Chains A and B, each alone.
Chain A
């Protein structure tokens, strides 16, 4: 039985919407185990989202359209990104029209609007969060693009579907350029998704917030959409890492058994990625803000070294 590419696309977006809270729940559960605390269960993020959706939205009097529009835009770009990254299959209609540079652009748009919304209300914390987020972005995005260019050079395309297919079929295991790009990608993922050495996702102290400070004024369904989009972003980065560096099992033809196999392998890969993420997060403390330049500078260094070693050694 074969399903059309449109159906695969649809399945993939459904998977993203449905499994992103589960992945966050898995990471939080693991973290609780690592710190020997009681867990709230892997399904707690679903309950959180459901609770937020039933609550009323509280808007500031001087909130402009940007503030109301941003949650929908952030949510929409996350879904669109889910149509580009090959998670189950490389045979995606959207994957043909948008490559990995578009993907970086999508993340940049949603970040730009979140930063605007943070400043829109005019509270001190919102502006502070926006300025910090933009500082991190200005350092993380060049490194991200550099890491992606390295992978594109090695696989000779910027289309994610094509990269996944080439990387799957090539036999070389010890590629220094890809190893460097992977290290850079791990550092960037931590920065972009606001995980521990860069930002603490569970902090309640406004002064130390980066991402959270920007969305402090949101409530109700707006907050639910932004939180959900944040979970999807983490999920997407993990899926992107899997497509770029470990594309085993991602289906090419679009038939049902292949997609099921890809889904199973993706579950295993995400499970392992969650463990690694928790190991990193429990092993490290949050960095001082001004040491982030060193952290993201080393991500840029790794990515550039990857590109150089492609020319020098391969």
Chain B
């Protein structure tokens, strides 16, 4: 495979990552959301391996494998177990105005394109054009956390944001040093466990994972 083909493959994977980000933004069912998250992880892992091939950096293969095991297998599994244990029956969630959310998402993509334009001029890496997509993925994850009301979906939005950050690191600098990546992976894993524990506490205290219900904490109305 020559470098041009590999670069276009990497752009294609980047486009697919962006597509999954948008799909997660508007998906209403929690289980489908987790599947989409796993798909995004898979695309990310494939992209990391492709970038590793282009840049001839072998530690990227390890971080690709790490992504595969953590974000495609382990985290979705933990989320599945969590939803099962918490007995979330009503898995369909209302989102504020889907077309509007999509338009805001589009605006975020344009914004991140303009924001990363100077970097694209300076950088000489093959993957420099995917930096805008990575930033857009981060911002869309943030948007997802804002527009959702259910705690579990907010966490999925947070994890999607982390996916975007990881993607940005791969496309801007051919990946962080392996030590840092191992640390981040461990952090995410620990975070997932802590979230799980918090969910159980929230659930027992409020009988719901709807964050709007937490307004009940106020002493006076």
Bound CA span A300–B102, Å: 9
Task: Give B33 Cβ to nearest chain A Cβ, in Å.
Answer: 16
Given A294-B26, A313-B129, do A308 and B12 touch, yes or no (CB 8 Å)? no
B19 — which chain A residues lie within 8 A by C-beta?
A: 180, 305
The residue that B109 contacts in the complex, of A172, A174, A179, A308, with Cβ under 8 A, is A308
Bound CA span A175–B5, Å: 11
Q: Is the interface of B mostly helix, strand, loop or mixed?
A: helix
The residue that B133 contacts in the complex, of A174, A293, A297, A312, with Cβ under 8 A, is A312
Answer yes or no: B183 CB below 8 A from chain A CBs.
no
Q: Is B106 a contact of A304 with CB atoms below 8 Å?
A: yes
Bound CA span A313–B7, Å: 10
In chain A, what residue has the closest Cβ to B12?
A174
A208 — which chain B residues lie within 8 A by C-beta?
A: none
The residue that B106 contacts in the complex, of A175, A293, A294, A301, with Cβ under 8 A, is A301
Answer yes or no: B15 CB below 8 A from chain A CBs.
yes
The count of chain B contact residues (Cβ–Cβ below 8 Å) is 23
Answer yes or no: A314 CB below 8 A from chain B CBs.
yes
A-B CB contact pairs (8 Å), 21 listed: A174-B8, A174-B9, A174-B11, A174-B12, A176-B12, A176-B16, A180-B15, A293-B98, A293-B99, A294-B98, A297-B102, A298-B26, A298-B102, A301-B106, A304-B106, A305-B18, A309-B15, A309-B18, A312-B109, A312-B132, A313-B11
Interface residues of chain B, those whose CB is within 8 Å of chain A, are 8-9, 11-12, 14-16, 18-19, 22, 26, 98-99, 102, 105-106, 109-110, 113, 129-130, 132-133
New A-B contacts (7) at CB < 8 Å, excluding given A301-B22, A312-B133: A172-B8, A174-B12, A175-B8, A180-B19, A305-B18, A313-B15, A313-B129
